[in-house]
Chain A
């Protein structure tokens, strides 16, 4: 039977992998001290406890204010791989909240993390990529990554990494960074790398690579490189891909790449018009929008115009279509109208 008296022993530790956290607002300061301890076990356990705590944004804020981030930065350079893995996991969880992202920017953690890009442990690298991916969800984070010059290493890693999951994460990061500023990436041959990835077996990688190319070709230099490296035929080939979102991203990339004349003619040579016309009937709105725009670009060339004059009724039908979201419907109608006007343009 239970004793009604308090036992003199310490309470039983149900989870031996974690250190017991102090109660209330003493938890984080105590954890901070334990993070600095000499004993490896203590550090590991403290990190595991920290992982659980970091799901709460208030805890993150508290941790920031007492200076846990500096400790974590030091721990990133620890010799034990478990410590590093757990530290990167903590940082990944931190980056999923906006307070955490702010902490990243304040304490210059991006640079400290970048030293682990060549880490031997794949889990560690995986967490690192996840952390970066969370960070670039906001434009300020993407700018930080660009300004620290991490695009070239990431592009190189994209080529080198075997794990598809990691490739996907890196692609996600790159997609959002390229939206911000593509000049550095273009200097590091990102188009060639993405071209390789377009032919990958994994559909997610294909789709994300196409999305990245879309973002690359927003800038003029990007368009020129895309045409120069003959990516357009591959994109046209992807238009016939079975997966919907691959098709839509490919159409988007084509949409931007065909703005310049070279792109137009390259696409026309690669017979892009018929797949694009098929895409107009796709269930995904994005795909239809992108296809419409791409066809508009192609209609500016006389050869394209000739072919598309036959299909003007399709566009007219699209003009009067409605969609449940008013902005989307309006966008589709407008796009269709513009396409019709371009096709019927007489000099």
Chain B
């Protein structure tokens, strides 16, 4: 028994529902080429008695060995009676089927083709399924095909063999029929219920004994392609029945919406709470920051105040120090000044007298009359004196010259006279004339003037003593002839010489 999917063709076979047949379904494929067996549809469904036709796909655990599961077919297995609305629902379902029908099933090994009809009771489950395995098929020739015994195939089949086969077939058939009668049938309906056959195809058909046959003809155009087969939509028969879902029949909105709403609102509130908490946290952080800032500001102000105080004190100190220093400095300066002043005063106290004294000493203070006399008068006086003396000197010189001449002459005369005898005359004359003559003789030629003068001088000296008076008179005499100055000078010179010689 393989549960499978119902196909539309299976519905056609519903009419052949036999009694007492076990629910057995042959797998059919709508698009497949397998011929669909006439199936005892409804009785099979009724037999199992499953309540929900929609959700039931799988019969029971015993049938899972070769269960092809329908993946995409829209049709589900139905068991039990199909209420009319479900039928329409079915129709509705299938009317919206996609345009192409596909069917897929898990690959499975095809059972042996021989047993078309299921012998559900006589063949218990333990009996192994006869697989249509090609390896075990007797019809397939195995081995060497060249040396086969082709007896019955060639020409007429053996009559004996044929007969035997026919009898065997008949016996088998009889056995089958006997077994069929023994086969249990669909259980009797429960009290108060009735088994009803149900169609489960997409389009429900009115099942009548007599098939309505209508002859139809159709002819396509000669050279037209065969148009595609239109979708078979059977004519509507029967009564239209509508249904309406009234309020409150399906579900109560208010009740149903509650959990959904709760979740929605809950999530929103949760999210917003999170955001609000975040903001609150931020605000708290900021508030604490601000507080800290305030405390810090006040501390800062305190620090600045102390700094300021410090600065002020320091500046004050600096100022005071500076002031003090200035005071001290001034004090020093003043004392120095005083000391200097005192010293200077003292120093300069005897400046004046000393200055006057030194000036006086250096002769800056003079009596002008005295000065005048000294400067003016006295030089003149001296000049005059000199002149006078010079005159007298000149006079004397002249006199000396005269004397000299005279003396020379006398001498000459004496010499001439005394050639015969020499008399030492000069004894009268002291050293002076002797000296004069000696000197005259000695030094005649060299310094004549000097010697003359010397001699004259000596003469003059001698003469002077004796003839001073004479000179003065002679002087007077010769004042007119010779310069006064020369005499004076000579006289002065002689005087000085005499003095010098004497000293």
Contacts and interface: CB of A to CB of B under 8 A. Distances in A.
Given A259-B308, A260-B308, A261-B312, A328 B291 contact: yes
A2 B446 CA distance: 185
A256 B312 CA distance: 16
Interface residues on B, range: 10 to 19
Interface stretch (B22-30, B296-304, B318-326): B296-304
Contacts of A327: 295
Contacts of A289: 294-295, 298
- Determine which residue in B294, B301, B302, B307 has the highest number of CB atoms from chain A within 10 A of its CB, and name it: B301
A328 B295 contact: yes
Contacts of A335: 298, 302
B212 to A, nearest CB: 36
Contacts of B312: 261
Contact of A259 (B295, B299, B301): B301
A128 interface: no
A300 B291 CA distance: 27
Contacts of A116: none
Contacts of A300: 305, 308-309
Nearest to A5: B98
A137 B283 CA distance: 12
Contacts of A290: 294, 297-298
Interface string B45-73: 00000000000000000000000000000
Contacts of B304: 218, 256, 259
A214 B297 CA distance: 9
Given A261-B312, A296-B305, A297-B305, A255 B298 contact: yes
Nearest to B286: A137
A256 B295 contact: no
A255 B304 CA distance: 10
A137 B297 CA distance: 17
Determine the main DSSP class of B at the interface with A. helix
Interface in A271-299: 285-286, 289-290, 292-294, 296-297
Contacts of A256: 297, 300-301, 304
A256 B309 CA distance: 14
A338 interface: yes
Interface residues on A, range: 20 to 34
Contacts of A294: 301
A304 interface: no
B45 to A, nearest CB: 26
A294 B286 CA distance: 25
Interface string A245-272: 0000000100110011100000000000
A321 B302 CA distance: 20
A56 to B, nearest CB: 11
Contacts of A296: 302, 305
Contacts of B299: 331
Nearest to B309: A300
A189 B302 CA distance: 27
Nearest to B298: A289
Interface in B263-317: 286, 291, 294-295, 297-302, 304-305, 307-309, 312
A344 to B, nearest CB: 15
Nearest to A214: B297
Interface in A304-347: 325, 327-328, 331, 335, 338
Contacts of A255: 297-298, 301
A300 B304 CA distance: 13
- Determine which residue in B299, B300, B305 has the highest number of CB atoms from chain A within 10 A of its CB, and name it: B305
A259 B305 contact: yes
B420 to A, nearest CB: 145
A265 to B, nearest CB: 13
A297 to B, nearest CB: 6
Contacts of B294: 252, 285-286, 289-290
A293 B309 contact: no
Contacts of B291: 286, 325, 328
A78 to B, nearest CB: 30
Nearest to B303: A259
B402 to A, nearest CB: 125
Contacts of B295: 289, 327-328, 331
Contact of B301 (A260, A285, A293): A293
A273 B297 CA distance: 20
A298 B300 CA distance: 16
A61 B305 CA distance: 46
Nearest to A345: B309
B301 A297 contact: yes
B305 A252 contact: no
Contacts of A218: 297, 300, 304
Nearest to B308: A259
A289 B291 CA distance: 11
B373 to A, nearest CB: 88
A137 B309 CA distance: 34
Contacts of A286: 291, 294
Contacts of A297: 301, 305
A243 to B, nearest CB: 17
Nearest to B98: A5
B320 to A, nearest CB: 13
Contacts of B308: 259-260, 300
A329 B312 CA distance: 31
A304 B295 CA distance: 24
- Determine which residue in A259, A285, A325 has the highest number of CB atoms from chain B within 10 A of its CB, and name it: A259
- Determine which residue in B286, B295, B300, B312 has the highest number of CB atoms from chain A within 10 A of its CB, and name it: B295
- Determine which residue in B286, B298, B307, B308 has the highest number of CB atoms from chain A within 10 A of its CB, and name it: B298
Interface in B55-101: none
A170 to B, nearest CB: 19
A218 B299 CA distance: 12
Contacts of A292: 298
B297 A252 contact: yes
B88 to A, nearest CB: 15
12 contacts: A252-B297, A255-B298, A255-B301, A259-B304, A259-B305, A259-B308, A285-B294, A286-B291, A289-B294, A290-B297, A296-B305, A331-B298
Given A289-B295, A297-B305, 18 more contacts: A218-B297, A252-B297, A255-B297, A255-B301, A256-B297, A256-B301, A259-B305, A285-B294, A290-B294, A290-B297, A290-B298, A292-B298, A294-B301, A297-B301, A328-B295, A331-B295, A331-B298, A335-B298
Interface of B: 286, 291, 294-295, 297-302, 304-305, 307-309, 312
Report, nearest first, the 5 A-B pairs whose CB atoms are least far apart. Answer: A286-B294, A293-B301, A259-B304, A255-B301, A289-B298
